[in-house]
Amino acid sequence: RGHFGFGMPVIYHSNSPKPAVEARFNAQYRSLDELLQQADFICLTLPLTAQTEGLIGAEQFALMRPESIFINISRGKVVDEAALIQALQEGQIRAAGLDVFEREPLELTSPLRQLDNVVATPHIGSATHETREAMARCAVDNLLAALAGERPANLVNPQALG
C-alpha cells in the first residue's frame, strides 16, 4: 500500500493472475522472470512449500537490476542465502531487507551481519500490538473450543482428534 504515496506502479507474481489485487492496487501481473527484471523493489510474501523452497537463487539474482532492493518477509528457505550474499557483495542488487533467514536466529558469523547494504530484523516483522493481541485471542479461542469438545478453528493436526 505504500506505493500510493510515492506514485509507484505495482507489478506482482503469483501462481495465477489475481483480478481483485489488480483492481485494488492498480497492479499488473508478471511472470517471475519478468518481475525480477523489471521491479525496483522485490518483496517476498509467500509460504514455504516444496515448490517455493529455494525459489530465489543465483539465477534469479542475476535477473535483477543493480538498483534492485530485495525484501524477504516470508520464510528464509525460500531464498538461497549464499546466492543472496554473493549478489549483495558483487553489486548484482543494491540492498536487502530481511526478517527471515535460512537458519534462525541468524548466526553471529553470518556475512549478512557484516554487509552495509543489509537491514536485518530477528523475525519480528509482524510484531505489532494488534497482531500480538490477535494471536493471543486466537490461541485462547482455540483452547476454549478444544476444552468444550469442539474443533478448534485453526487446527493444524486434525489426525490428533482421531
- Please tell me whether residues 103 and 148 are part of one structural domain: no
- Please tell me whether residues 101 and 112 are part of one structural domain: yes
- Please tell me whether residues 46 and 74 are part of one structural domain: yes
- Please tell me whether residues 104 and 132 are part of one structural domain: no
* Residue 9 maps to a domain: no
* Residue 39 one-letter amino acid: A
Domain range enclosing 134: 128-162
- Please tell me whether residues 56 and 114 are part of one structural domain: yes
99, three cell numbers: 526478517
- Please tell me whether residues 52 and 78 are part of one structural domain: yes
CATH number of the CATH domain containing 55: 3.40.50.720
Q: Which residues are catalytic?
A: 75, 104, 123
Can you tell me which residue has the cell 493471543?
136
* Residue 160 one-letter amino acid: A
- Please tell me whether residues 40 and 75 are part of one structural domain: yes
Q: What is the pLDDT of residue 154?
A: 78
- Please tell me whether residues 69 and 110 are part of one structural domain: yes
Residues 6+ apart with CB under 8 A from 43: 71, 72, 73
Rounded to the nearest 5 degrees, what angle is found at the Cα of 129, between the Cα atoms of 145 and 127? 95
- Please tell me whether residues 121 and 141 are part of one structural domain: no
Helices (H) and strands (E) in the chain, counts: 6, 6
CB 98 within 8 A of CB 112: yes
pLDDT one digit per residue (tens) for the chain, 162 residues: 445 567 889 999 999 999 999 999 899 999 999 999 999 999 999 999 999 999 999 999 999 999 999 999 999 999 999 999 999 999 999 999 999 999 999 999 999 999 999 999 987 766 678 877 888 888 999 899 989 999 888 776 777 776
Q: What is the pLDDT of residue 127?
A: 65
Task: Supply the DSSP string of 99-148, one letter for each residue.
Answer: S--SSSSPPTT-GGGT-TTEEE-SS-TT--HHHHHHHHHHHHHHHHHHHT
- Please tell me whether residues 160 and 117 are part of one structural domain: no
* Residue 102 maps to a domain: yes
Q: How far is CA 145 from CA 136, 149, 153, in A?
A: 14, 6, 8
Cα-trace Rg, the chain:
19
Q: How far is CA 82 from CA 86, 88, 124, 128, 130, in A?
A: 6, 10, 22, 30, 35
